[in-house]
């Protein structure tokens, strides 16, 4: 009789279940949750950085100013010259080549010289002599020398034996000016010296000679003396100097004489343009200012050539001020959300190259509420933000080496137009709609959410025409209900989003036929399967109790639990469940490094992933879900029931804290409620000390009353106000799933309470 009643009850339950199933099928209550969908897209915009390269240097006819990068453009150049002097010049002492005569140097005259007067410290590099040589053999043994001056005695106004500079004669049989260069410049102080041709080292001289010419009709400096090295009574000596006909010569020299730039027609050549250098306030000084330039040297140096009308190089001291500008490309991103303004963030990399450095950003005209942050602190009051002309100027005194920068602003969300000719679809059909871009530019990102709020499709398409079509083929078994399709449009400075709802239905006729068959089948076999059903219920009951046993054993097996924000790597919740010390953050970082090199994934599905790893004597499990990662450190491998609990815990954390994790700002206090979710899925209270809530007012069964009595007995024996579940188990002769179930019931009814703050 009891079996028949059970069968009847089973038939009624089965028939009712089928009717209820039919009701559920015809009741649509699934809607996509997508009002908080935010799209993050990268962007990049140009800024202009300005700098001043200010320095000083010694230079000559070529000025080289270093530039930090070839991308910089020159905007202005200011050059201030001082101590302008000729690097070397040709001083023509005697150069009148008309009415010429010559003195020979050879067998009877072994030396000839002309007086040099030095009126200021002078460096002599060489001389030009006007003459000719009829034989190379005599040239090879002749020296050109600068000697001292004999100011008294029998050989007054002649060369003396001090030699200041010497070089081999350079002359051939062509009449004209012949250059004689000293190997090392000859430095002479103020005084009188001699320039000589010296043949005294030759043993025998015969035949042709060397001729050095002079003009005794119209000399330029008739006061200069000349002298000859001759033999008198077998003694060679220099003759007393005589005036009136100095030898023709020119001196290549450098003096300390300063020049006004305009007196020597001093100019600067930059980028093929010639600019005049104007006189300064004192002799030897000048300046040049070139404005309104936009010149790129395409090099790491700015080169300026200096010219003058003497066709010789100049020496000068230079102080310069070069204005520079550079195009700075800043990366960034935009957050696009329906019914909200767009949020733009730029992250420029500002590095100081010069003592004076500033940034100008001409932001788009549709942006508003601009702000500037340095190292996360708003310094908008320290910079210039011109909202009428739409630019931001970051001055030199706000730029700090190594700082991080953010420029934020908002822009209106562009209201897009969607074309949705059809809004109701069935399985295996093509869901299709189109969007109209406000301008022929940018990209579209289409995102389709199913009725459960999960993204079903995500695709990005470039805007190639004003209308862009999106389509998606539904599966043969889609989630029935209201789906939401989003069209995000964006370019580098503007963005917008529009959504539309679509109803997705499933054809009911095949299902109705199936239900009819099921009803008949259930009615026919329910009597014959009652026994099996009863056994199945018992198996499920035993399975449930076994899962409790597994959970309890896994909880005893658990040492640490850590939950980490994936993007920042910050622990948002962690709990120590064991007495041993272990750096859980170090283990978490270690797992992240291993994971990035590719650990085999196990237990993964579409929404989450679980990674198992053995580290030393611990078993480590890392479960990932969207924006967070859960790490558990255990003594032994967990059961499948425990892994399922972890997956369900991950879903609940995402459901309750998904939005906070997606926009995590570093504040971990808001995640304190995670401990309640953990207790719901992982009854960690089983391993903590418990106390009895004496104020409970609920009805208890005999097994629960027996457990309470055992707990009181334990506390009385030990003289403490708390007890452990393990105490109850050992008292009852070992762990039984039934007792664990009763303990969990008492914890759930708040009869057993944890005595510590979890």
**CATH code of the domain containing 303:** 2.60.120
Whether the per-residue pLDDT at 457 is higher than 80: the answer is yes
CA 69/CA 167 separation, integer angstroms? 47
For residue range 520-546, what is the model confidence (pLDDT) as tens digits?
565 555 545 544 544 565 566 566 666
Whether the per-residue pLDDT at 383 is higher than 70: the answer is yes
CA 627/CA 622 separation, integer angstroms? 13
Helix (H) or strand (E) segment spanning residue 684 = none
Q: Is the pTM of this model over 0.85?
A: no
Region of residue 527 (left: phi > 0; alpha: psi -120 to 50; beta: else): alpha
In this structure, are 102 and 225 located in the same domain?
A: yes
In this structure, are 385 and 421 located in the same domain?
A: no
In this structure, are 116 and 226 located in the same domain?
A: yes
Whether the per-residue pLDDT at 336 is higher than 90: the answer is yes
For residue 670, being part of any structural domain is answered with no
In this structure, are 123 and 238 located in the same domain?
A: yes
For residue 389, being part of any structural domain is answered with yes
User: Residue 490 belongs to what domain range?
Assistant: 414-505
pLDDT for 710 equals 83
For residue 576, being part of any structural domain is answered with no
Q: How far is CA 399 from CA 153, 361, 733, in A?
A: 77, 15, 74
pLDDT band for position 735 (50/70/90)?
low
CA 633/CA 51 separation, integer angstroms? 55
Q: Report the first-to-last Cα separation within the chain, whole angstroms.
A: 52
In this structure, are 118 and 240 located in the same domain?
A: yes
The residue out of 384, 406, 428 marking a domain boundary is: 406
pLDDT for 569 equals 81
Q: Tell me the CATH number at 471.
A: 2.60.40.1930
Strands 467-473 and 481-490, by their bridges, are unpaired
For residue range 395-446, what is the model confidence (pLDDT) as tens digits?
999 999 889 999 999 999 998 999 999 999 999 999 999 999 899 999 999 9
For residue range 196-248, what is the model confidence (pLDDT) as tens digits?
999 887 766 776 789 999 998 999 999 999 999 998 878 889 999 999 999 99
In this structure, are 140 and 233 located in the same domain?
A: yes
For residue 454, being part of any structural domain is answered with yes
pLDDT for 35 equals 53
Strand pairing partners for 675? none
For residue 252, being part of any structural domain is answered with no
pLDDT for 61 equals 82
Give the chain's domain count: 6
Q: Which of 4 and 268 is assigned the larger pLDDT?
A: 268
For residue 622, being part of any structural domain is answered with no
Strand pairing partners for 392? 361, 385
Q: How far is CA 524 from CA 15, 127, 533, 549, 578, in A?
A: 11, 132, 15, 38, 56
What percentage of the chain exceeds 70 in pLDDT? 82
Whether the per-residue pLDDT at 729 is higher than 50: the answer is yes
Give mean pLDDT, residues 117-137.
93
In this structure, are 498 and 513 located in the same domain?
A: no
């Amino acid at each position: 009789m009891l079996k028949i009643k059970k069968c009847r009850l089973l038939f009624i339950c089965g028939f009712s279940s089928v009717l209820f199933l039919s009701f559920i099928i015809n009741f649509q209550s699934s809607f996509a949750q997508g009002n908080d969908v935010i799209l993050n897209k990268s962007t990049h915009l140009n800024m202009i950085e300005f700098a001043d390269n200010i320095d000083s240097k010694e230079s000559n006819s070529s000025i080289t100013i270093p530039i930090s990068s070839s991308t910089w453009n020159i905007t202005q150049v200011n050059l201030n010259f001082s101590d302008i002097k000729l690097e070397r010049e040709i001083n023509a002492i005697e150069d009148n080549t008309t009415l010429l005569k010559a003195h020979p140097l050879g067998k009877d005259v072994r030396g000839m010289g002309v007086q040099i007067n030095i009126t200021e410290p002078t460096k002599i590099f060489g001389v030009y002599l006007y003459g000719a040589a009829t034989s190379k053999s005599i040239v090879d043994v002749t020296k050109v020398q600068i000697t001292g001056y004999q100011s008294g005695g029998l050989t007054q106004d002649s060369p003396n034996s001090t030699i200041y500079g010497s070089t081999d004669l350079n002359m051939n049989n062509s009449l004209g000016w012949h250059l004689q260069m000293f190997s090392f410049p000859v430095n002479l102080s103020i005084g009188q010296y001699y320039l000589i041709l010296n043949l005294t080292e030759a043993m025998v001289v015969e035949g042709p000679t060397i001729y050095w010419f002079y003009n005794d009709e119209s000399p330029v400096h008739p006061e200069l003396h000349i002298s000859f090295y001759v033999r008198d009574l077998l003694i060679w000596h220099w003759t007393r100097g005589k005036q009136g006909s100095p030898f023709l010569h020119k001196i290549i020299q450098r003096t300390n004489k300063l020049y006004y730039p305009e007196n020597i027609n001093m100019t600067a050549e930059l980028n093929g343009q010639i600019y005049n250098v104007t006189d300064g306030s004192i002799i030897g000084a000048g300046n040049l200012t070139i404005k309104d330039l936009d010149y790129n040297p395409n090099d790491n140096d700015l080169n300026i050539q200096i010219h003058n009308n003497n066709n010789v190089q100049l020496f000068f001291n230079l102080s310069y001020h070069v204005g520079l500008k550079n195009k700075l490309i800043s990366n960034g991103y935009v957050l696009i959300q329906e019914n909200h303004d767009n949020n733009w963030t730029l992250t420029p990399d500002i590095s100081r190259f010069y003592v004076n450095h500033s940034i100008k950003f001409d932001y788009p005209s549709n942006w508003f509420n601009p702000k500037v942050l340095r190292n996360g602190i708003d310094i908008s009051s320290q910079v210039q933000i011109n909202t009428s002309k739409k630019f931001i100027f970051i001055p030199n005194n706000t730029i700090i080496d190594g700082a991080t920068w953010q420029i934020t602003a908002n822009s209106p969300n562009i209201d897009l137009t969607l074309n949705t000719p059809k809004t109701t679809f069935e399985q295996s059909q093509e869901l299709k709609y189109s969007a109209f871009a406000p301008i022929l530019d940018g990209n579209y990102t289409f995102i389709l959410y199913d009725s459960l709020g999960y993204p079903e499709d995500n695709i990005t398409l470039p805007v190639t025409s004003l209308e862009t079509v999106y389509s998606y083929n539904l599966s043969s078994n889609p989630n029935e209900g209201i789906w939401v399709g989003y069209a995000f449009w964006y370019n580098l400075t503007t963005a917008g989003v529009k959504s539309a709802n679509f109803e997705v239905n499933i054809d009911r006729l095949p299902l109705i036929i199936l239900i009819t068959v099921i009803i008949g089948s259930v009615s026919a076999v329910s009597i014959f399967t009652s026994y099996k059903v009863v056994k199945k219920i018992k198996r499920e009951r035993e399975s449930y109790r076994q899962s409790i046993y597994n959970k309890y054993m896994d909880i005893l097996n658990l040492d640490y639990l850590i939950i980490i924000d994936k993007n920042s790597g910050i622990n948002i919740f962690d709990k120590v469940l064991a007495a041993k010390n272990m750096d859980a953050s170090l283990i978490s970082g270690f797992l992240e490094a291993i994971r990035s090199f590719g650990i085999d994934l196990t237990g993964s599905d579409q929404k989450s992933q679980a990674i198992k790893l053995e580290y030393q004597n611990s078993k480590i499990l890392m479960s990932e879900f969207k924006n967070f990662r859960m790490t558990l450190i255990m003594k032994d491998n967990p059961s499948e029931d425990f892994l399922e609990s972890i997956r369900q815990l991950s879903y609940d954390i995402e459901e309750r804290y998904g939005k906070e994790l997606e926009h995590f700002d570093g504040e971990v206090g808001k995640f304190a409620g995670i401990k309640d979710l953990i207790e719901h899925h992982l009854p960690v209270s089983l391993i903590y000390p418990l106390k009895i809530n004496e104020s409970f007012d609920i009805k208890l069964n005999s097994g629960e009353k027996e457990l309470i009595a055992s707990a009181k007995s334990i506390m009385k024996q030990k003289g403490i106000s708390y007890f452990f579940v393990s105490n109850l188990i050992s008292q009852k002769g070992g762990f039984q799933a039934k007792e664990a179930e009763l303990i969990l019931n008492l914890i759930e009814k708040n009869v057993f309470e944890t005595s510590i703050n979890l």
